[in-house]
Structure 1
Amino acid sequence: MKIFISADIEGTAGITNWDEAKKGNPDYAEFREYMTDELVAACEGAGAAGATEVVVKDAHSTARNLILSKLPDYVRIVRGWSGHPDMMMFGIDISFAAALYTGYHNKAGTDTNPLAHTLTGTVSRLLINGEVASEYTLNALCAARYRVPSAFLSGDAGMCADAKVLVPAIGTVATSEGFGPATSSLTPGAAVKAIRDGVEAALSRDLSVCLPRLADSFELVVEYTTPVEAYGASWYPGVEHVAARTLRFKAADFFDIQRAVRFIV
């Protein structure tokens, strides 16, 4: 069994401030280690459930965050940004039995994580077929393009709840909860144990129930924080500039939505 894991940091247990998530800041080294420990726990849970190969996409910021010496020897790691529209899911294909997500955070505009955002700080809201989308939304639908179910997610409580809207059967571990700029969180050790056990349980069942249905067609709407970003991105082929801060793009294939996101966000 092959498992794909997309690893982010803003939903890691304890993380509360951007200084803890940005390479080069003094606080980053500590939370980079917690991010790695949670990812390793997911790998170990997958191994306990029968996985013989795990591919991990380092999917935060520089995509060079995970401490590689801590990863099990059955893991293959994808680092850096290739430029491919699969972005945070680059490396996934039809050979995987399931996709997992660690350290995930809720979408821009939500109050369940002080670090909530969608891809960049220039996006106020991103909608797919009228529903406000998170990075997880994009990534779970990307996995579904390859017929890969999304079986498990760890991150803030709001992200866990939203994940179940798209995939009701997904297993989740809520590592933290936001209160304005503050958080209430599991300890790193408690999060590691819950993630390891949660992944093993999530993968030890019929995974087909975790495959979301792809719509017959898609409408992408991006609302930017200022009109400047919207104007600059409005020249992408097929994009409609429907309001000062808003662009719209329609496509029948979700890959075309991914490709548009890659270039306009």
Structure 2
Amino acid sequence: MRILVSADMEGATGVTWPADVEPGTEQWQRCRAMFTGDVNAAVAGLFAGGASEVLVNEAHATMRNLLLERLDERASMITGRHKDLSMVEGIQHGDCDGVVFLGYHCGAGDDGVLAHTYLPNAVTGVWLDGEPASEGRLNAAVAAEYGVPVILVTGDDRACGDAASYAPFARTVTVKEHVSRYAARCLPPARTAGDIRDGARAAMVLAGRLDPEEPRTHAVEVEFDAAHLAQAADVVPGVTRTGVLRVRYTSPSAYEMIRCFKAVTTLAARAVEEDYG
């Protein structure tokens, strides 16, 4: 059984503040260790539950946050940018029996610790086929197209609640309870490690390839907090500006959907100005 771990950072143990996840800050250096600890706990649990191989895909920001030198030696890791499938790189090769969404968070416009979708601010809402979409929902659509079940989601309590809407059979592990976007009631790493390890071991009963979903058309809407960001995203072929702050596009498959989403958010991010956004 080969399992992919898509590892994001905002939903990791102890993380509550932007500086906790911004590369180069003192807090980021501290939180990298706890993030790596969460990953190692998941790896240990997956192997205890019967996994024969675990591939970790770095999925946060620069995608160079996990400490390779501290990674469980039984795992391997994809680190760095750029990747065809971004947060779920590695799922597309037909040999993945399950995926773990580790350190995930709520989407833009939702109420959760460091809630956002791809961009830390700028994006105020994303809808996939008419439903509010977190990164988890977007990535789960890609996983389904490759016949890969989401077996475990970890993050704050709101992220785990969100997971029930796109991966209802997945196990969830809550590592902190939401207080506000920048505050949480946190459990110490010694406790969350045990919870994640136990959750990952139990989640292995859900592993096993499914029939891949037939590629189908997906419609995505993205709302920004400033008009010029929608204007910037409108440059992407196939993307249409539907309002002052909104763009929309359709894709023939989840694979193309997530790739276009990456293009839209990358262009928008480059259009953000320091003082006026």
- The reply on whether 1:91 has 2:90 as its aligned counterpart is yes
CA distance, structure 2, for counterparts of residue 254 and residue 87 of structure 1: 13
Residue 132 of structure 1: how far off its partner (Å): 0.8
- The reply on whether 1:222 has 2:222 as its aligned counterpart is yes
* Contact 1:141/1:212, CA 8 A, preserved across alignment: no
Matched residue, 1:128: 128
Whichever residue aligns with residue 223 of structure 2, its letter is: E
* Contact 1:234/1:247, CA 8 A, preserved across alignment: yes
Alpha carbon RMSD of aligned pairs, Å?
A: 1.8
Per-residue CA distance 1:9-57 (angstroms, 9 max, x = gap): 1111221111111121111122100000000000001110111211111
* Contact 2:108/2:123, CA 8 A, preserved across alignment: yes
CA distance, structure 2, for counterparts of residue 214 and residue 171 of structure 1: 25
Matched residue, 2:106: 106
- The reply on whether 1:202 has 2:203 as its aligned counterpart is yes
Matched residue, 1:45: 45
Whichever residue aligns with residue 13 of structure 1, its letter is: T
Matched residue, 2:264: 264
Gapped regions of structure 2 (runs ≥ 5): 266-277
Matched residue, 1:233: 233
- The reply on whether 1:7 has 2:7 as its aligned counterpart is yes
CA distance, structure 2, for counterparts of residue 203 and residue 53 of structure 1: 12
Residue 139 of structure 1: how far off its partner (Å): 1.2
Matched residue, 2:81: 81
Whichever residue aligns with residue 196 of structure 1, its letter is: R
Q: 1:155 to 1:203 in 2, by over 3 A?
A: same
Whichever residue aligns with residue 174 of structure 2, its letter is: A
Whichever residue aligns with residue 57 of structure 2, its letter is: K
Whichever residue aligns with residue 33 of structure 2, its letter is: E
- The reply on whether 1:118 has 2:117 as its aligned counterpart is yes
Q: 1:83 to 1:205 in 2, by over 3 A?
A: closer
Helix, strand or coil: the match of 1:27? helix
- Report how many aligned residue pairs link the two structures: 262
Q: 1:214 to 1:226 in 2, by over 3 A?
A: farther
TM-score (norm 1): 0.93
Residue 153 of structure 1: how far off its partner (Å): 0.7
* Contact 1:52/1:74, CA 8 A, preserved across alignment: no
Per-residue CA distance 1:82-129 (angstroms, 9 max, x = gap): 242x1111122320110001111111122221x111000221111101
Gapped regions of structure 1 (runs ≥ 5): none
Deviates more, 1:91-100 or 1:68-77: 68-77
Whichever residue aligns with residue 233 of structure 1, its letter is: A
Per-residue CA distance 1:126-165 (angstroms, 9 max, x = gap): 1101111011111111111211110001001111011111
Q: 1:228 to 1:253 in 2, by over 3 A?
A: same
Whichever residue aligns with residue 222 of structure 1, its letter is: V
Whichever residue aligns with residue 238 of structure 2, its letter is: G
Residue 206 of structure 1: how far off its partner (Å): 6.1
Matched residue, 1:159: 159
Deviates more, 1:94-103 or 1:71-80: 71-80
* Contact 2:147/2:212, CA 8 A, preserved across alignment: no
